[in-house]
Structure 1
Amino acid sequence: MPPYYTLIRNANELMNKGPWTVMSKPMTPPSGSKHDYESLGSYWWPCNNATFQPTSHCNRTTGLPWVRRDGEHNPETDRFDSPSLGAMTSAVVIFVLKTLSQAYFFSDNESYAERAVFFLKTWFLNESTFMHPNMNYAQMIPGVTDGRGIGIIDTGRWYALIDAFGLLDGSKSLSDDDQARLLNWYRSYVEWLWTSKNGKDEYHATNNHGTWYDTQFQSCALFIGNMSAAKMVADKVIDKRIKVQIEPNGSMPLEERRTKSKSYCTMNLQGLFNLASVAKYSGIELFNYTSSDGRGIRQAFEFMVPYAIGEKAWPYEQITSYSWGSMFELFRRASIEYQNPTYEQMISKLPDINPDNVINLLYPKLY
């Protein structure tokens, strides 16, 4: 099945899904409003959990304060907004808003745009269901904090929403009033990202959290037309991200030390690729930047290549299953960005590659 038909099939399967809203959670955030997004730190557990030794400060009755288990997902998060937003960012953006907007763009079938706008309005605009433009209570930890800057990673892939909005432009389903209200929502959100304590904390994060913050902030700032804010962040990427995260040999120690190092190295590299793409709109070239001692995005990609194509065994910890096939998009984008047919040829060595993947429609191969 060619990629176009895969996209249409996926879009048709999503036409009756959802909707998702922050109002569906059973708990109410400390603000007293369910319109505020709230999620639970996914790697945090009650200190009295039977699978590990309680700490000396643990209240064995309440399980407070919760303790961190890196890489071990706590299913308790399903009671909070992260599954809903996970559906919004993973399913609704990648599989719903993104898929439906792409299906509309490529097919010119207005029904896909109509459904995408329905999801968009449910999450952002409708008075009874909209999310307040903040992440004050993201990744809270019972007994520790009501919310953290780290929680902004929950919306890290909202850069993809901006692409979806663009593909819907011109659809009769998205009115001028809808677009104006959406821009107002994002203006408030960008201000929150830049001025709030949580936003400032995430901006100063040195690992993948900082990468995805920059990508999200720049995308949102460009969407509302704030070019100076986008450029302000883009100007600092070399010093704050590339020189801090990437070693001269291309390795990324801040991600390699994690218990899911393959996942986090790939995740950060994806963020760096997206960050470099967005920074171009500010006139800043990052894909081809190399520091005097050899640090750069291309170096980070090439460090990962021999592991992804099976020439080397990954030497770091990975406690969950992982497929190098998740780097398919990065190989394709690298072949296009660097005009290098070798990267395209290497794709055949990646596992679990579907020739009808929609990536082939979004990033057609050059060679």
Structure 2
Amino acid sequence: MKRIITNTFILCFFLLSTAFSAFGPAKGTIEKETEAVLKKQILEEANWAMKQKPVTVTASSSPRSAGEKHDFFSEADYFWPDPKNPDGPYINRDGLTNPDNFLEHRKAMVRLSKIIGSLASGYKITGDEKYVKQAVVHLKAWFVNKETLMNPNLLYAQAVKGKFTGRNYGIIDTIHLMEVAQGALIMEKAKAFDKETAKAVKKWFADYVLWLNTSKPGIQEKTVKNNHATCWAMQVASFAKLCGYENMLDSIKTNFKTNLLPNQMAVDGSFPLEMARTKPYGYSIFNLDAMTMLCQILSSPKDNLWNFETADGKSIKKGIAYLYPFIADKSKWTLATDVMYWNNWPVAQPFLLFGANAYNEKSWLNTWKKLDHNPQVEEVIRNLPIRNPLIWL
């Protein structure tokens, strides 16, 4: 009898194991592979971050800003001096970045994103709270200390000389606060993250979420038809998750299902509005990354956006399947090449990793492994909000 019971147990275990393997990898497999690929880089970057001092928006300013020292300011990338009127309003040259624009606040925010993302990743791997302690120094400087904090709005982002002191399109600049919010979420239970600071940081993000949802620029950005609306939703989802705003998260899920995915994606999985731009390759990648991150942030066992499909068959899986061949072999791209930075794409795109995790697509994961995980070109970094994927898994 004992032998029969033992054999039955072994058989059941084998059948269960086979069943689980048929439905994809065991929980945490992608996370372990990601850590294996990135561990050396993560620890090096975390050690770099340990030596950095805070640099906030108050460290630099532009005479062209209509705001005060605590206001984030940036200038629209594709606007240039008019050769016919050099001192007059700037004119648009789509896809061509003006290198003389004021970018110091954007660079400082990207730097903060890198610091917090690196420290949170280092903490997740090692459990060492020295990384949390250092992160708190930077979080206080940006979001708590009255002398150095940034105001929770983007009234003066992507301004255009002679035309706009700020535009709703500038809201896209704060996609680089996503890994700051996620890093805070990863580290908030550590003893080194004192409750008072955690509460103040969440209050800042709560104020910013309110501004994004009620201000004129915020409402305008939410209703734009292309990647700007996707990125509005992506960052609001990230910030709302930190704040525990379940109703807000549910609202963004509905927006994804009824607006963003069905209205931006074609039935073949492409994004026509992005492909019509002067940088169709880069913008297609950028928007797919953002759509993918929405699925990663918002999905739950009860409402899994990875499995969502519209009545006419549009889905995030179809979007990844459409673009993947052009990532694996760029020479297959059928449209015109991007007017700038064509040679700098692709890098280790988030949609490859998180898509591989969701659908158990080994080829997507292998391609992600081979691509550049540490890009240095500023334009690539500007369009790559997720550079520390381990803290999202």
> TM-score under structure 1 normalisation?
0.85
Match for residue 286 of structure 2 among 267, 281, 284: 267
Q: How far apart are 1:246 and its partner, in Å?
A: 0.7
Is 2:83 the partner of 1:83?
A: no
Partner of residue 82, structure 2: 47
Deviations along 1:234-271, whole A, 9 cap, x unmatched? 21212221111110011111111222222111111110
Q: How far apart are 1:75 and its partner, in Å?
A: 1.9
Q: How far apart are 1:177 and its partner, in Å?
A: 0.7
Whole-Å separation in 2 of the counterparts to 1:266 and 1:21: 30
Is 2:242 the partner of 1:230?
A: no
Is 2:49 the partner of 1:30?
A: no
Partner of residue 31, structure 2: none
Deviations along 1:52-76, whole A, 9 cap, x unmatched? xx3xxxx34x1x2111112211122
Q: How far apart are 1:142 and its partner, in Å?
A: 0.9
Match for residue 356 of structure 2 among 314, 332, 335: 335
TM-aligned CA distance change 1:20 to 1:347, over 3 Å: closer
TM-aligned CA distance change 1:189 to 1:240, over 3 Å: same
Deviations along 1:120-146, whole A, 9 cap, x unmatched? 111111110000111111111111111
Deviations along 1:282-332, whole A, 9 cap, x unmatched? 953322222222222111111111111117234233122344542454223
Whichever residue aligns with residue 83 of structure 1, its letter is K
Structure with higher Rg: it is 2
| Equivalent residues of 2:282, 2:342 under 8 A apart | no
Whichever residue aligns with residue 100 of structure 2, its letter is E
Whole-Å separation in 2 of the counterparts to 1:362 and 1:36: 29
Q: How far apart are 1:213 and its partner, in Å?
A: 0.5
| Equivalent residues of 1:263, 1:322 under 8 A apart | no
Is 2:69 the partner of 1:69?
A: no
Q: Which structure carries more helix by proportion?
A: 2
| Equivalent residues of 2:182, 2:391 under 8 A apart | no
Whichever residue aligns with residue 326 of structure 1, its letter is V
Q: How far apart are 1:211 and its partner, in Å?
A: 0.5
| Equivalent residues of 1:251, 1:303 under 8 A apart | yes
Match for residue 170 of structure 1 among 186, 189, 192: 189
Is 2:135 the partner of 1:116?
A: yes
Whichever residue aligns with residue 108 of structure 2, its letter is S
% of aligned pairs identical? 26
Q: How many pairs align? A: 343
TM-aligned CA distance change 1:249 to 1:4, over 3 Å: same
Whole-Å separation in 1 of the counterparts to 2:366 and 2:200: 45
Deviations along 1:106-130, whole A, 9 cap, x unmatched? 2122222222111111111111000
Whole-Å separation in 2 of the counterparts to 1:290 and 1:338: 14
> TM-score under structure 2 normalisation?
0.80
Whole-Å separation in 2 of the counterparts to 1:360 and 1:278: 12
Moved more, 213-222 or 202-211: 213-222
Partner of residue 299, structure 2: 280
Whichever residue aligns with residue 118 of structure 1, its letter is V
Q: How far apart are 1:3 and its partner, in Å?
A: 3.0
Is 2:361 the partner of 1:326?
A: no
| Equivalent residues of 1:44, 1:141 under 8 A apart | yes
Query: Secondary structure of 2:336's partner?
Result: coil
Query: Secondary structure of 1:6's partner?
Result: helix
TM-aligned CA distance change 1:323 to 1:287, over 3 Å: farther
Whole-Å separation in 2 of the counterparts to 1:148 and 1:100: 32
Partner of residue 254, structure 1: 273
Match for residue 344 of structure 1 among 365, 381, 389: 365
